[in-house]
């Protein structure tokens, strides 16, 4: 290792709100010379790095994005100049954030790397719904999965359904219909499902429904990326929380009650 080089911190910015950052993340930002800012991170995060040069390196599905190879070259170049580079990633850096490629490129160049963990949007979505992703009454685990593979193919939805785990599906809104149809081949139509947009942020929106109505309900309600899709019987606990027995507001408008948007199907599930 070249001890005269700087270093790169792969920093997890969490789902949006700055108060969800770890103290370790705040310290890394305060010490940064260069910040490479992901498009999904809260842009106000740069206020925690007052001395740093900020370079925006947005990567969004379906949008013009900064090439990954270019990002890796910038990290190497600045670190080899002796600077502390903080690569800010939305959510958890090690989950669907291409951290593996960046780690390999930096290690090959002899650059020291530090990883700062954070809250993934899947966990933030579960918190917003008030559920456990691994409620032992319903499942024995959770599967985090991206909706498309590196070659733009589809995951093995039948195999994922067979795990009987809660499915937390990332980057799936553009193909939510195909996902629902594929899962319906293996799961019951009334399997609880949810979509949480901007999970953990001030603009968070939540949709509770069932698998056979997932795509239609999400489309009608105007849900779009960035959002997490959750599927599994554990999701039904959120319906019970909002419309549980003895709820005096059970006849209130679903669109406004407790900040949730429940469909007729979800209400029927809890009845």
Active-site residues, by number, are 38, 59, 171
Using CB atoms within 10 A of its CB, is residue 50 exposed (0-12), middle (13-18) or buried (19+)?
A: exposed
C-alpha gyration radius of the chain: 20
Pairing of strands 192-197, 205-210: antiparallel
Three-class DSSP category at 67 = coil
Q: What is the 3-state secondary structure of 184-216? A: HCCCCCCCEEEEEECCCCCCCEEEEEEHHHHHH
Alpha-carbon 202 to chain mean position = 15
Alpha-carbon 232 to chain mean position = 17
Instruction: Give per-residue burial for 192-229: e unless 16+ CB within 10 Å, then b.
Output: bbbbbbbbbbeebbbbbbbbbbbbebbeebebebbbbb
Q: Return d(Cα 145, Cα 131) in angstroms, integer.
A: 19
The tokens describing 71, both together, are 């990002």
Task: Report the alpha-carbon angle 160-166-167, nearest 5.
Answer: 55
Q: Return d(Cα 154, Cα 11) in angstroms, integer.
A: 29
Residue with tokens 């909706």: 147
């Amino acid at each position: 290792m070249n001890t005269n080089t700087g270093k790169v911190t792969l920093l997890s910015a969490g789902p949006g709100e700055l108060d969800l950052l770890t103290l370790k993340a705040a310290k890394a930002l305060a010490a940064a010379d260069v910040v490479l800012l992901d498009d999904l991170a809260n842009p106000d995060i740069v206020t925690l790095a007052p001395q740093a040069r900020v370079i925006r390196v947005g990567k969004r599905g379906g949008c013009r994005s900064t090439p990954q190879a270019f990002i890796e070259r910038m990290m190497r170049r600045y670190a080899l100049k002796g600077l502390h580079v903080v690569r800010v990633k939305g959510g958890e850096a090690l989950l669907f954030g291409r951290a593996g490629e960046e780690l390999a490129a930096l290690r090959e160049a002899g650059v020291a790397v530090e990883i700062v963990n954070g809250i993934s949007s899947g966990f933030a979505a579960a918190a917003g719904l008030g559920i456990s992703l691994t409620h032992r009454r319903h499942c024995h685990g959770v599967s985090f999965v991206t909706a498309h593979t590196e070659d733009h193919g589809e995951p093995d939805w039948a195999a994922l359904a067979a795990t009987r785990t809660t499915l937390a599906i990332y980057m799936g809104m553009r193909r939510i219909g195909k996902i629902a149809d594929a899962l319906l081949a293996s799961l019951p139509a009334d399997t609880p499902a949810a979509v949480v947009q901007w999970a953990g942020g001030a603009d968070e929106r939540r949709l509770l429904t069932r698998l056979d109505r997932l795509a239609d309900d999400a489309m009608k309600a105007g849900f779009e990326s960035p959002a997490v899709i959750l599927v599994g019987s554990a999701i039904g606990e959120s319906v019970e929380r909002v419309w549980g027995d003895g709820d005096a507001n059970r006849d209130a408008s679903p669109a406004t009650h407790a900040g949730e948007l429940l469909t007729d199907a979800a209400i029927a599930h809890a009845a």
